[in-house]
Copies of this chain bind each other. A is one copy, B any other.
């Protein structure tokens, strides 16, 4: 199924176009309200068909969620520069800042990972294994970047790249929750730039990524971002 959701070189079939609409609708509604509060009938109505029609394309609700998350990951892989964290640690971290900056302009999609990741702490949640793995990869990528940076530029006493990595992931996730609750009160970009400043990295001059296309495109929470290069 996963290769079928990738747009083939030719014009997409009716089924491919419908699956894309379903994934967009699901991403939007899961981001807004979480997995449990959204029904297949809700998603189907948003996508312009019935829930039975939706179930022709996806085996079930759990599978749909996993497909939405995988789809998001592939889109993020396309957006990010393919920078290796070990070889180009500072550039890799600049990419993180750019994604955070962009995400501030896309309130709808930011919630998808932030919201589903806390739901998925429940071992019975369909995305539990996905998020355990995802955070492992994210922390590993950032740990590599911070380790390489420390080796290159020296590090203060007691510097722990793994601790810094998990803290940076926490900052991005935690800021998203606060931002979703009170967007006017939170400056995610400034906070992330200030965090990097405290560990000796000046990212104030990092330009933001171009805006995404308008409409209900599924898009990424910032925690997606650094993982794609792993």
Q: Report copies per complex.
A: 2
**Is A178 touching B166 in the complex (CB atoms < 8 A)?**
yes
Among candidates B118, B120, B178, residue contacting A135 with C-beta atoms closer than 8 Å: B178
Interchain CA distance A172-B171 in the complex, whole Å: 8
| Interface of chain A residues 154 through 186 with chain B (CB within 8 A) | 158, 160, 163-164, 166-167, 169-175, 177-178, 180-182, 185-186
User: A177-B117, A181-B132, A190-B163 are contacts. A122–B171 as well, Cβ < 8 Å?
Assistant: no
Q: Does A16 contact B (CB under 8 A)?
A: no
Q: How far is the CA of A37 from the CA of B124 in the complex (A)?
A: 10
A99-136 vs B: 1/0 string, CB under 8 Å? Answer: 00000000000010011011111101000100110011
Q: Contacts A174-B171, A178-B135: A115 and B121 contacting too (C-beta < 8 A)?
A: yes
Q: Output the residue of A34, A121, A160 with the most chain B CB within 10 A.
A: A121
Residues A181 and B119 in contact in the complex (CB < 8 Å), given A158-B197, A194-B163: no
Interface 1/0s, chain A 8-27, versus B by CB < 8 A? Answer: 00000000000000000000
Residue A40 at the B interface, CB < 8 A? no
Contact at B170–A175, with CB atoms within 8 Å? yes
A203 at the interface (CB under 8 A from B): no
Residues of A within 8 A of B (CB): 32-34, 36-37, 111, 114-115, 117-122, 124, 128, 131-132, 135-136, 139, 158, 160, 163-164, 166-167, 169-175, 177-178, 180-182, 185-187, 190-191, 194-195, 197-199
